Structure 1
Amino acid sequence: MAIEFSAAVSRIPVYPAAAAYALPEDVALLASNESPEPPLEPVVAAIAEILTGVNRYPDPTNAKLRRALSDRYEVPVSRIAIGNGSCDILLAAGEALLEPGAELVYAWPSFSVYPHLAAATGATQIQVPLNEAQEHDLDAMLAEITAATRLVVVCNPNNPTSTAVGLADIAEFVAKVPKHVCVLLDEAYCEYNTLDDPDASLDLLKKHPNLVLLRTFSKVYGLCGLRVGYALCGSDAFVTAVNQVRQPFFCNAAAQAAAVESLKHGDAVAQRVERAITARLEIEDGLGELGIVPAASQANFAWFDLPVWDGQEPGEVEAAIVKGLGERGVLVRAGAALGRAGALRVTYGTPQQNQRFLNGLRELLP
């Protein structure tokens, strides 16, 4: 007789991880929205120093990191949650807020983990289509909120479409959401957003106890491999709830040390953002020369539909282009796995990697 698993296991979709981990080093890894730049040298030194003490458990309260974040963002320590990446906090939020009969509202296509929340908890999910500009349709999302809604997620800038909604529209949206609904503003890519100051959304926390800003050290700080994220919250209650449903020691010692040190180097982070924006312009110009207009990116990646030719289906074109780029040593993310067949998501890499991608795409397009 086979082992019997819970019904949730059959409901939860498999996360579409990029196929990059067994490839040779000379492959241009442009599929996972990672920074092409390694951690700063002082961050690596902080990691090395902490390794001599890893015979002890990490601080379960994440005290130094929460204090550093509190000093950086002027948010009380009690309103800061730490996680094993921001996904850890996101999944914990689902467990803490959702259950059968409850509702979850989010845009689609958006971050691939959002469908896990309803599947794991038995809640009802409402996916709201993006508008024609591939941005969140906030009015349509508001229209879907009911008395049963517990959680609304807005990914800004949005993954995978790279687009962002201006802060004024976000503020108006949050003000209209009923106070019994938690609004989770997923800002994993906020440092790359030029529409507004990345810190501008912090003012909303003072007005809305039901608001959570979800952020990460994975992207601009270059700490994907250590998995450390955080949430800045409008109230203590969210922090208490997500900590209650998680295992202890959810953020390892090296990740905490690296994050604390990373916060000391704001100038270097700003320079990384500048280089990413330069790469954004290079990719947009290169795609334009090929007759492709990407979505208006406010992130560290591009999102665009591929041209379709000679009766080919979008999914067939996508598969052929992804395969051809892979043969040329360029790994990108296929749109079909992210909610839109016939599209590509391409992370901005080094200048050499970006040119390699554009050259490969030029060779493959008819």
Structure 2
Amino acid sequence: MEQSVKPASSLPLNPHIAALPPYNAGMNIAMARALSGRHDIARLASNENPEGCSPAVMAALASSSFEPWRYADPACAALRSALGEKLAVDPVLIVAGNGSEEMIAAIARAVLVPGASVVTVPSFGLHEIEPLAAGADVIKIAMTPEMGFDLAALEIAITAGPRIVFISSPWNPVGPGLDHPSLQRLIAAVRPGTLLVLDEAYFEFADPGAPDGIEALRDSGIDHVVLRTFSKAYGLAGLRVGYAVCSGLELARVIAAAKTPFNVNAAAQTAAIAALADESWRKASAGRIRTERVRTAAALAGLGFGVAQSQTNFLFFDCKSDSSSLAAGLLKQGIIVKAWREAGYEQYLRATIGLPADNDRLITALQGLAAR
């Protein structure tokens, strides 16, 4: 028997939460198959690593040393130690999270109060959603017509002294990364009382010589956090593990206090440690994806799309019309992409770099749709 829908509750709700915009998580494969009627789906919407993960990860998860019936280490000590060695950072400054998403929420919870201001760019949805949930005001600096960072506007907004600045570099969903002078320019604009959060979820896909935020900020003297994740280049999206590198012990302590205990499960910790130990796999995989990124971007530009410069494992391009219609046309051919729905960006579409065959399918399908 179907249960009737109850009328709206009179229970007072947190207005900051009730007013939050929905997070655009994209389409899962089961829904894509149901809507397209196809089984051979090219999954180009969620920026996953199309090559999977290191074989060392699968071996570690199959090992008898992995005991899923035991609670995970709530301090993630072994993982933080491995990260500290790799990054030349004291492990006490590293906080591990259930994906870097949890770290964004923990930072907002640890630093923001109602009425505080946050500066960001049209970006990863949680850079806006989590501050709004804390009752903060969010100021977004639009991208330039050339699909890049508006450095002058960002500099002015940062100098005004917001509580937090969230900047993703490389930039999701657009793709470009800050070069060394640009990053230093924004760092120099940060005043005491402002926390700079540099989200480097796509750091491993950047071209050689791109800025390393941890190194750039190490001796900057400003309060900062650098976010990274194992979801993208390391291929652990389904396990949810990311981390925050903090500028000081007290900041790390408060961010850690704002997360839940046992937040990174045992499988995720085991997999992340194994992934870190196989850097050769990660580097080779990222190199192949960079090669495909260049090839696919050139093909899309040749079809007349305005393609943003990318330092990530995806491409963001101007469809010159409603991107949702184009995404629907691609879905009929078994290709999932992500139409951007943020106000002012409805004609932009983001497509993950997949395996060569998937990228060829995307190029061919777009060629056909563009010809109509």
Q: Normalized against structure 2, the TM-score is what?
A: 0.91
Number of the residue aligned with 1:149: 162
2:295 aligned with 1:282: yes
Given residue 15 of structure 1, which amino acid in structure 2 is its aligned partner? Y
Q: How far did 1:238 drift?
A: 2.0
Given residue 273 of structure 1, which amino acid in structure 2 is its aligned partner? A
Q: How far did 1:200 drift?
A: 6.0
Given candidates 58, 66, 78, the residue that maps to 2:92 is: 78
Cα separation, partners in 2 of 1:38 and 1:205, compared to 1, 3 Å = same
Number of the residue aligned with 1:132: 145
Q: Is the 8 A contact 2:29 2:43 kept in 1?
A: no
Given candidates 82, 104, 115, the residue that maps to 1:90 is: 104
2:194 aligned with 1:181: yes
Given candidates 357, 361, 369, the residue that maps to 1:352 is: 357
Number of the residue aligned with 1:6: 14
Q: Distance in 1 between matches of 2:159 and 2:356?
A: 48
Given candidates 17, 25, 28, the residue that maps to 1:20 is: 28
Q: How far did 1:319 drift?
A: 2.5
Tell me, what secondary structure is at the counterpart of 1:223? coil
In the alignment of these two chains, the number of paired residues is: 357
Q: How far did 1:50 drift?
A: 6.4
2:61 aligned with 1:53: no
Cα separation, partners in 2 of 1:44 and 1:198, compared to 1, 3 Å = farther
Q: Is the 8 A contact 2:44 2:353 kept in 1?
A: yes
Q: How far did 1:148 drift?
A: 5.7
Cα separation, partners in 2 of 1:41 and 1:343, compared to 1, 3 Å = same
Q: Is the 8 A contact 1:82 1:251 kept in 2?
A: yes
Number of the residue aligned with 2:36: none
Tell me, what secondary structure is at the counterpart of 2:315? strand
Q: Distance in 2 between matches of 1:198 and 1:175?
A: 15
2:349 aligned with 1:336: no
Which digits, 9 at most, give the CA deviation of each residue in 1:10-44, with x for residues without a partner? 22111111112414452000001111011111111
Q: Is the 8 A contact 1:156 1:164 kept in 2?
A: yes
Q: Is the 8 A contact 1:85 1:228 kept in 2?
A: yes
Q: How far did 1:196 drift?
A: 2.8
Please, which runs of 5 or more residues in structure 2 have no aligned partner?
1-7, 34-38
Q: How far did 1:252 drift?
A: 0.5
Q: Is the 8 A contact 2:42 2:334 kept in 1?
A: yes
Q: How far did 1:209 drift?
A: 4.5
Cα separation, partners in 2 of 1:96 and 1:297, compared to 1, 3 Å = same
Number of the residue aligned with 1:30: 44
Paired residues for 1:201-280 under 5 Å: 201-280=214-293
Q: Normalized against structure 1, the TM-score is what?
A: 0.93
Please, which runs of 5 or more residues in structure 1 have no aligned partner?
308-313
Given residue 263 of structure 2, which amino acid in structure 1 is its aligned partner? F
Q: How far did 1:63 drift?
A: 0.3
Q: Is the 8 A contact 1:304 1:343 kept in 2?
A: yes
Number of the residue aligned with 2:57: 43
Given residue 323 of structure 1, which amino acid in structure 2 is its aligned partner? A
Q: Is the 8 A contact 1:31 1:331 kept in 2?
A: yes
Q: Distance in 2 between matches of 1:29 and 1:126?
A: 32
Tell me, what secondary structure is at the counterpart of 1:271? helix
Number of the residue aligned with 1:310: none
Among all aligned residue pairs of Structure 1 and Structure 2, give the percentage whose two residues are the same amino acid: 35
Cα separation, partners in 2 of 1:152 and 1:50, compared to 1, 3 Å = farther
Number of the residue aligned with 2:136: 123
Q: Distance in 1 between matches of 2:160 and 2:317?
A: 37
